[in-house]
Structure 1
Amino acid sequence: MEKLLDALLLGRAKFHELPMTGRVVLSQLPLNITLLLVLLIVLMVDAPVAATAGFLWGQAAAAALLLACLAVPWDRLPYGSFLVIPLLDFIPVGILRPSAGDTLGGLGLLAVFPVMWIAGSGLWPKAGLAAGTAATLAVVWWPLFSTGAPSPKQLVSQLLVPIMMFAIGVAVSVMTRSGMAQQRQVEDLLARSELRQEMLDTVLDAVDVGVVVIDADGNDLLMNRRQRELHAAALPYGTQDAPEQRLLVLDPETGALVDPERRPARRAIDGETFSHEVYILGEGPDARTVSASARPLRGPQGSRAGSVLVFSDITEILEAVKAKDSFLGSMSHEFRTPLTSIRGYAELLMDDDGLPAYARADLQIMERNARHLQQMVDDVLAAATGTAAQTLRSPLDLAELAAHAAQSAERDAASRSIRLVADAGGPLPVMGDRTAVVRVLDNLISNALKYSGSGATVTVTARDEDGMAVAEVADQGIGMSEEDVSKAFVRFHRSDAARRSGIPGVGLGLALAHDVAREHGGTLECRSVLGEGSVFTLRLPLSVAA
């Protein structure tokens, strides 16, 4: 009853949310209210009519039907049983029409209420339409038959109201069925939308990255479980919650709070797109290092509706990298001392003039392999400590360094039956770290010799080219495919041809050489053809003195 009154007086309760009894009563009320108005009009116009038996019986029948709507437990009856009420509504309408017809004309039009109820129910549309039309016809013809046999002219003259009721019933039935079809479509779309939303929430909560969607004003529209955890890690100490502006977002290099305009959320609100920006969230042992990315969110018309921020927790990854670098650095230091001793004693033994030829050959192999192993250890140590290029720079002659590197490799080339040709040209002054540049040249020449077969030629050239000092090492070795060339300077990458050859290596030399060239403001490039050989070109800026 409370919901019924709410629907009647306040309009807050929706019709479909009411219990069945409430819906039946609301469907019946328009007829009863109209009959009440008819009673008031009759009392004002012709009061004696209101006292006639027909008028009283009609009003009483309508009131009884309204009481039946309230008393019958419609929720317990089969759905559709309520249609008996509009069918019975034709009785009071049929009784009232002749009793007050002279005083108040058009009472037959009251049949529109049960007709609309029947047609609007959406149940058995054809049968309901036929029943409503037939009942309306009975309402208008019954007075004629009650006074005798009517003429055809009298019967035809009363067909306007049934025809109108038929037309109204058809229109209401069509609109009702169309509305029901649209409602089913809306419900289906709503169910799909809810399923997709549930799927989205489940997927977002399952992934191990933080995702937050914000609107154009910076308000959170969506935040997954992982992002809530990262948000909690960035809260100031002693607080349970705080807006984004108060979160502890630190610069990983300085450890200071990030400026407000450079915070990831602020940048996203401003429409900026960025990828893999590193921040620290929070302080102390619970702080998390994250990689943040942002992409704009577009609305239906292409306008910017907000942004999507993704935070990947890379704390454990950075710790693992530090642990790996520490381990590699420690092991490399441990290897260097015994390798230095092996090489030193091998060189001392080779200086013995009385050493047999077969023993000298064995020592040369021992010294060469120890030198190669030490080179690998040095590469691993440089990679672990990040010292590919030192900051100490001094004047160098790249042509001289290239010539010396080629001269130092002559014995190794001769032992492999490889022709090593050096064409250093004139002076090429550069500013750089001598140790690092020499390591690059030694690495390039060593690789050229390792991957070239007996009888091949390795060429080392140095020249001035467009204001750059250029050192180039070309070989006629196994070469690389285009895919391997694109990965030649990736750490720990070795080409397929190199792995198949069985030549030892860890894939660090070229990566470190590339880092040295970049740190010196230059470049290291590679051209290669599989099966024909490779050309590595080191370019460094010529110094001002040039």
Structure 2
Amino acid sequence: MNITYVTGGDVERVLDALLHAQNRFQRLDARRRVVISQLPLNVTLLLVAVVVLFTDRPAMERPGFVAGQAVALLILGLCLLVPWNRLPGWSILLVPVMDFIPLALVRSGIEGVLSGLGLLAVFPVMWLAGSGYRPRLAVAVSTLGSLLMVWTPLLAVGSTAPHNLVAEIVVPFMLLAVAIAMSVLTVSGMTQQRRVEELLAQSKTRERLLDTILDTVDVGVLVVDSSGKDVFMNAKQRQLFLAGLPDEASGADDSEVLLYRDGSDELLPLEQRPVARALAGDPISHELYRLGRGTDARMVSVSAREFLDAAGDRGGMVLACSDVTEVVVAVRARDSFLSAMSHEFRTPLTSLLGYAELLQDDTSLGPSARADLQVMSRNARHLRKMVDDILAASVEGSSVETQRTRLDLARLLRQAAASAMPEAEGRGIELRVVADDDLPVLGDRTGLVRILDNLVSNALKYSDTGTSVLMTAERDGRSAVCRIEDQGLGIAPEDLGRIFTRFQRTDAARRAGIPGTGLGLALAQEVAEQHGGRLEVASEVGVGSVFTLRIPLTE
């Protein structure tokens, strides 16, 4: 024996077919829907006539049977002729109400020939209860029509005895149950359908909103599935895609896009492009590429993130491409300008400092002139430091690698203190150094010296006469730690979060008229991070600040 199992997929296909048929039925005009709904009853009555023809032919001549068949055909004719689309929607329900008349006539006309004809009333009952119009009224009308169908013939012949009426109540009771069940299912289905339609409308609204947002933002968005096939591309991404195509390209294949790494003229192979790398699991965040060639080339910053499907599996990747051409051009122009201007400033400043030192060696100068020369030298050195900071900022991110050597961070701290000692003595500030042990690190001497010089210079610059500055160097686990602690102005809490940002200066420093570019601490933090370390600060207004430099020790 063959057993056929009904799987979930089979059920889904059946439901899809039913929903498709229901949608097709609802798209028909009112007249066709009425005729199609009425035809099953007429076809069934025709089948009853054929059965009677072969079982009890004389019964076909009974007035009730003939009248019932005639009324059924008349109702079908009305379904064809009445312009239902011009009438109210509820008027269609008059047809199943009238169907109880031919059913009562046929049932009474061939009583004793065929049994169970009363169950044919299930057609108008299901039509009424399944319409969804006034469910309680529909159930009541269905029940009343069923009762009249079985009781009217009895009333016509005077068989109104209670036992006769009760004997015929089984069929109306069954039809009542059918009507209630059909009404409940219809109301539930209509509620679910409305909910589905609401969710579908919300989904379409969200989809249109998302499409509008993605087409509005000035960022290219590309979505690919887990196989690398394009799923979505917004307007900006299409614009960038076209910008990367050569004139002779067809535009049908991503491999035709001219994509280069920043600073390279070698076309990137497919396996090294962002989409392939992202699918392979490589992290991509704000990587710079050149799209296209010639004067129309664009610089794009690419980031990629993975997204998961409803089952939690990998669904694909989302790539965001920002056109940063103007930004890159502006930054490079700024760096070029700063570098050129810094070099132009350094030449006359070097001459000024050189001649100032020569003049200080002149024994014929009086104390007043010598003091003026010291002021001139101090301000010139301060100006040169500012120029050095600007020059260092202008070459940030250059491809030139610094030379890393083995250095003693404690010794560098003592040298920084020795260089700052004249300025500390001149301002009446006590400068103390505690750095006895060796602290071997692997680093760039110029960068580390710049950090320490900047920290001690700031400590002196923001401190008053009579205060002290403490410089310490010690081991902390596998790190070398240098601390510069002052008793100066201190930093307000709202300024602590941005003091390592370029060109940012505290309000207190600006109000006090203390000169500076706002670059020193930002550059110091960058150098610390390049050495695998970090620069920290703790400060309290009116009490002072403690800057802590941590650099990994080397063996």
TM-score by length of structure 1 reads 0.84
1:184 corresponding residue in structure 2: 194
Distance verdict in 2 for CA 1:85–1:437, change over 3 Å: closer
1:413 corresponding residue in structure 2: 424
1:379 corresponding residue in structure 2: 389
Deviation at 1:117, TM superposition (A): 1.0
For 2:107 and 2:405, the matched residues in 1 are separated by: 117
Deviation at 1:28, TM superposition (A): 0.7
Say if 1:260 and 1:266, in contact at 8 Å, map to a contact too: yes
Deviates more, 1:210-219 or 1:476-485: 476-485
Say if 2:304 and 2:317, in contact at 8 Å, map to a contact too: yes
2:14 corresponding residue in structure 1: none
1:505 corresponding residue in structure 2: 516
Distance verdict in 2 for CA 1:62–1:241, change over 3 Å: farther
For 1:126 and 1:469, the matched residues in 2 are separated by: 86
1:323 aligns with 2:333: yes
For 2:186 and 2:476, the matched residues in 1 are separated by: 85
How well do the aligned residues superpose, as a CA RMSD in angstroms? 3.6
1:333 corresponding residue in structure 2: 343
For 2:121 and 2:407, the matched residues in 1 are separated by: 109
Deviates more, 1:442-451 or 1:415-424: 415-424
Deviates more, 1:362-371 or 1:423-432: 423-432
User: Would you say how many aligned residue pairs link Structure 1 and Structure 2?
Assistant: 535
Deviation at 1:92, TM superposition (A): 1.6
For 1:161 and 1:390, the matched residues in 2 are separated by: 97
Say if 1:58 and 1:93, in contact at 8 Å, map to a contact too: yes
Deviation at 1:66, TM superposition (A): 1.5
2:504 pairs with one of 483, 493, 514: 493
Deviation at 1:433, TM superposition (A): 6.0
Distance verdict in 2 for CA 1:140–1:437, change over 3 Å: closer
SS in 1 for 2:286: strand
Deviates more, 1:401-410 or 1:178-187: 401-410
For 2:233 and 2:502, the matched residues in 1 are separated by: 37
1:89-113 deviations in Å (ceiling 9; x for gaps): 1222122222222332322222221
Amino acid at match of 2:235: R
Say if 1:403 and 1:424, in contact at 8 Å, map to a contact too: yes
Distance verdict in 2 for CA 1:402–1:129, change over 3 Å: closer
1:282 corresponding residue in structure 2: 292
SS in 2 for 1:409: helix
Amino acid at match of 1:532: G
Distance verdict in 2 for CA 1:437–1:275, change over 3 Å: closer
Unaligned runs of 5+ in 1: 1-6
1:142 aligns with 2:152: yes
Amino acid at match of 2:141: A
For 1:481 and 1:413, the matched residues in 2 are separated by: 25
1:155 pairs with one of 149, 162, 165: 165
Say if 1:272 and 1:295, in contact at 8 Å, map to a contact too: no
Deviates more, 1:336-345 or 1:449-458: 336-345
Amino acid at match of 1:160: V
2:239 corresponding residue in structure 1: 229
SS in 2 for 1:187: helix
Distance verdict in 2 for CA 1:532–1:81, change over 3 Å: same
Say if 1:234 and 1:282, in contact at 8 Å, map to a contact too: yes
1:532 aligns with 2:540: no
For 1:132 and 1:440, the matched residues in 2 are separated by: 93
1:239 pairs with one of 228, 236, 249: 249
1:56 aligns with 2:66: yes
Amino acid at match of 2:454: N
SS in 1 for 2:222: strand
1:311-366 deviations in Å (ceiling 9; x for gaps): 22222221221121122223223333343444445445545544454444334323
1:455 aligns with 2:466: yes
For 2:163 and 2:476, the matched residues in 1 are separated by: 116
SS in 2 for 1:179: helix
Distance verdict in 2 for CA 1:52–1:224, change over 3 Å: same
SS in 1 for 2:285: strand
Amino acid at match of 2:90: G
Distance verdict in 2 for CA 1:80–1:394, change over 3 Å: closer
1:88 aligns with 2:98: yes
Amino acid at match of 1:336: R
The within-5 A match list for 1:284-299 is: 284-299=294-309
Deviation at 1:539, TM superposition (A): 4.9
Deviation at 1:486, TM superposition (A): 6.3
Unaligned runs of 5+ in 2: 1-16
Say if 1:444 and 1:536, in contact at 8 Å, map to a contact too: no
Say if 1:211 and 1:226, in contact at 8 Å, map to a contact too: yes
Deviates more, 1:60-69 or 1:334-343: 334-343
2:378 corresponding residue in structure 1: 368
Amino acid at match of 1:132: S
Say if 2:479 and 2:550, in contact at 8 Å, map to a contact too: no
2:11 corresponding residue in structure 1: none
For 2:547 and 2:395, the matched residues in 1 are separated by: 29
SS in 2 for 1:211: strand
Amino acid at match of 1:415: G
Say if 1:271 and 1:307, in contact at 8 Å, map to a contact too: no
For 2:142 and 2:482, the matched residues in 1 are separated by: 101
Distance verdict in 2 for CA 1:355–1:194, change over 3 Å: same
Deviation at 1:266, TM superposition (A): 2.7
Say if 2:481 and 2:548, in contact at 8 Å, map to a contact too: no
Deviates more, 1:430-439 or 1:106-115: 430-439
Say if 2:483 and 2:546, in contact at 8 Å, map to a contact too: no
Amino acid at match of 2:197: E
Distance verdict in 2 for CA 1:118–1:382, change over 3 Å: same
1:25 corresponding residue in structure 2: 35
Amino acid at match of 1:503: I
Say if 2:413 and 2:435, in contact at 8 Å, map to a contact too: yes
Deviates more, 1:383-392 or 1:325-334: 383-392
1:126 pairs with one of 120, 136, 146: 136
Deviation at 1:18, TM superposition (A): 1.7
TM-score by length of structure 2 reads 0.83
Deviates more, 1:236-245 or 1:155-164: 236-245
Amino acid at match of 1:14: R
Distance verdict in 2 for CA 1:274–1:314, change over 3 Å: same
For 2:491 and 2:453, the matched residues in 1 are separated by: 20
SS in 2 for 1:14: helix
The within-5 A match list for 1:187-206 is: 187-206=197-216
For 2:258 and 2:534, the matched residues in 1 are separated by: 41
Identical columns (%): 50
Say if 1:383 and 1:508, in contact at 8 Å, map to a contact too: yes
SS in 2 for 1:512: helix
